[in-house]
Structure formats: structure tokens, C-alpha cells
């Protein structure tokens, strides 16, 4: 085998390298990160526009309700309506406080409030609170919280809210004995049997699925362990206990305050304890129906409850429509804009 000496090569030996995008990185001037691809930017832009498109479509379908509610509110007392707007804003504060109480980590207050404001818009599109939970889940994951612990936080939040509402109902029954006519608000025996049968079927189906599909046991038991661990940790910290249970208690009171304010602006002839109790009872009974934002079943239950307590049908209906305008339609477009902004800024 012949050998070729390097000094006998015909020309100088050169080594060609591809140019480096950052030839001399240093701590003061680090290499810039590559910009996201065009498809990624377009996908994020499309996702940020989805809330606005959904809200616009829903407004077009339900435009008559919006128009009727706005017409009735135009002749209402503006100062009471302003009080209703203030109670509406306090609802987002209550939701933010409750969300913070359901997670051990400290969350940034501004982003937490913005996420709950945006979650209110998402909650009007998807049923059973799925929209609000999805926004909160993305927000918690963006703060570095694992999927299991973020889901456990949502489960604790969803469990505490009905317990706090039921405690408020019992407190009103004790505080105002004999003045609250609840006989017509209590479901009949057939309805109670139907609810009990549905709950039994749901539990039996869950047990059957876990028995047949063994692969689901491990993640489910892991989720339960995570949820119990976080719940135990939270209840050893007084600040979290106060935020969790206090926020869950004042949230329905703030919502009832919106209904009281709108009713007062329209001349609803009922004292405020009756209106608050009517809201608590109606939302507790009809809130289990998986409608987007509770719209439909809760509205019908609210009108019936107000009429049972002695309100005229026309004023009761106008009060509920005005309540929906303040809590749903007024913040809907700003909430969708905030949701789109949070998506574009990668907060969600």
C-alpha cells in the first residue's frame, strides 16, 4: 500500500466548515434562540381566534335574548345596575381566591385573575364547567405544576363549591325560619328517586369499568393519592383553608348579589334574603344539568323560585334576563379577548 505524505499534496490543506449562527457566544451576549416556525405561529394565532369565533356564533344564535335583556335594562335604575356590575367583578375575585386555595404553590395574582376572567368566557361555550377547568388546567401547567396535581386541584375546587353552597342553604334556613317557603322548591319523590338511581348507575358503571379495564386502576389510584396528599397538605395551612373555603362561600353570595341588584333596579318586590335563597336553591337544584354556563336550566329554576316567593312572572323573568346580561353577555367579549391574549402570550 502506497503512502502519500501531506507535504507532497499539490495545494494547501484547507478545512471548510459551515458558518455558525453564533460564532462567539458569551454570557453577556448569548446565542439567540431560533424563531418559531411559520406553522407554529399560524397555529397559535388560529387558537387565539377560536374563542372569538365561538362567542360570535353563539351571540348570533341567541341574539333575541341579548336584545330583550338589554332593552329591559335600559329602563332600570342605573345605580343598582352599577352595583350588579361590581358584584359581577367580585365573582372573578372569589373564583381566583378559591383557585389559589386549591393549590399549595403560590400563583401570580395578576395572571390568576386574568385566567379566571378568561375562564368565564370559555365556560359559556362548553357544558359542565369544562371550559373554565380547561383554561385553569392550562394555566396551572404553564406554572410548572404537573398534570396530576393540577387535575387534583380542579377536583378539590369542584368538590368544595357544592359543599359550601349547601352550607349556605342550611345557614339561611336556620337564620330565617318560617319566612322561606321551600315546600314548592323541594323536588318530588319521583325526581329524588331518579337522581338516586342515576347516581347509583354512575357508581356501578365506574366500578364495572375499573374491574374490567385493569389499566385504568393504576392512574386512577395514583390520582386519588395525589389528590388526598395535596388536600391534606392544604388543610394544614390556615391561609389556604381560608382561601379555599372562604372563596367557595362568598362566590355564590356574590352571584346572588348580582341578582339582588338587578331585581332592585327593576322593582322586584322581594326582600334580599328571599332572592339570595332563591338563587342558592335554584342553582343547587339545576346546576347539575350539563348546560354551558348553566344557561337554560338554572334560568328556568330561578324564575320559578322567584315566582314561588311571590314575585310577578314578568318582573322575575326580566330580573333573570338582566342577571344573565351582566354575568354572561357583558363580560363575554372582553373575556374572549383576554383569553386570546393569554394564548398568544403563552400564559395558557
Rounded mean pLDDT for each run of 10 residues along the chain, 348 residues in total: 48 46 50 54 55 54 60 82 94 94 92 90 69 89 89 91 92 78 58 65 73 73 82 92 95 95 92 91 69 62 85 86 87 87 85
Q: Would you state the pLDDT for residue 110?
A: 92
pLDDT at 82: 94
Strand, helix or coil at 266?
Answer: coil
The predicted pLDDT at position 238 comes to: 93
70, 324 Cβ separation under 8 angstroms: no
Instruction: Centre a 10 Å sphere on the Cβ of residue 138 and count the other Cβ atoms it contains.
Output: 16
**pLDDT score, position 85:** 94
Q: Which of 130, 151, 157, 59 is nearest to 291 (CA)?
A: 130
Identify whether the C-beta of residue 113 lies closer than 8 Å to the C-beta of residue 107.
no
Q: Global pTM? A: 0.73
Determine the pLDDT at residue 216.
72
pLDDT value of position 261 = 95
**Distance from C-alpha of 325 to C-alpha of 346, rounded to nearest angstrom:** 30
**What is residue 45's predicted lDDT score, i.e. its pLDDT?**
54
Cell of 110: 395578576
Residue 315, classed as helix, strand or coil, is: helix
Q: What pLDDT sits at residue 336?
A: 85
Note the helical H segments in the chain.
Answer: 38-61, 63-74, 78-101, 109-123, 130-142, 147-175, 189-212, 217-234, 238-265, 272-286, 297-308, 313-324, 330-344
Per-residue pLDDT at 4:
47
Amino acid at each position: 500500500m502506497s503512502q502519500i505524505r501531506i507535504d507532497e499534496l499539490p495545494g494547501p490543506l484547507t478545512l471548510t466548515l459551515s458558518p455558525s449562527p453564533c460564532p462567539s457566544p458569551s454570557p453577556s451576549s448569548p446565542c439567540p434562540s431560533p424563531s418559531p416556525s411559520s406553522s407554529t405561529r399560524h397555529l397559535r394565532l388560529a387558537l387565539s381566534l377560536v374563542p372569538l369565533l365561538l362567542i360570535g356564533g353563539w351571540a348570533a344564535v341567541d341574539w333575541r335574548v341579548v336584545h330583550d335583556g338589554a332593552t329591559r335594562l335600559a329602563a332600570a335604575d342605573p345605580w343598582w345596575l352599577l352595583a350588579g356590575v361590581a358584584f359581577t367583578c367580585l365573582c372573578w375575585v372569589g373564583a381566583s381566591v378559591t383557585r389559589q386555595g386549591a393549590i399549595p404553590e403560590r400563583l401570580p395574582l395578576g395572571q390568576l385573575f386574568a385566567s379566571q376572567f378568561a375562564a368565564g368566557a370559555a365556560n359559556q361555550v362548553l357544558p359542565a364547567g369544562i371550559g373554565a377547568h380547561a383554561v385553569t388546567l392550562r394555566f396551572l401547567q404553564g406554572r410548572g405544576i404537573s398534570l396530576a396535581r393540577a387535575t387534583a386541584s380542579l377536583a378539590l375546587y369542584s368538590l368544595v363549591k357544592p359543599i359550601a353552597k349547601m352550607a349556605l342553604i342550611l345557614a339561611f334556613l336556620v337564620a330565617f325560619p318560617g319566612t322561606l317557603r321551600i315546600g314548592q322548591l323541594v323536588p318530588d319523590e319521583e325526581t329524588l328517586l331518579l337522581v338516586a338511581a342515576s347516581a347509583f348507575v354512575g357508581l356501578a358503571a365506574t366500578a364495572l369499568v375499573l374491574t374490567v379495564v385493569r389499566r385504568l386502576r393504576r392512574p386512577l389510584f395514583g390520582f386519588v393519592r395525589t389528590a388526598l396528599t395535596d388536600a391534606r397538605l392544604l388543610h394544614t395551612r390556615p391561609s389556604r383553608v381560608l382561601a379555599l373555603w372562604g372563596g367557595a362561600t362568598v362566590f355564590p353570595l356574590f352571584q346572588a348579589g348580582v341578582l339582588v341588584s338587578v331585581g332592585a333596579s327593576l322593582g322586584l318586590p322581594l326582600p334580599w334574603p328571599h332572592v339570595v335563597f332563591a338563587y342558592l336553591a335554584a342553582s343547587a337544584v339545576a346546576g347539575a344539568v350539563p348546560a354551558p354556563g348553566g344557561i337554560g336550566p338554572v334560568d328556568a329554576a330561578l324564575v320559578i323560585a322567584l315566582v314561588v316567593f311571590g314575585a310577578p312572572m314578568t318582573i322575575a323573568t326580566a330580573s333573570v334576563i338582566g342577571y344573565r346580561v351582566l354575568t354572561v353577555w357583558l363580560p363575554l367579549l372582553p373575556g374572549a379577548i383576554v383569553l386570546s391574549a393569554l394564548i398568544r402570550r403563552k400564559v395558557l
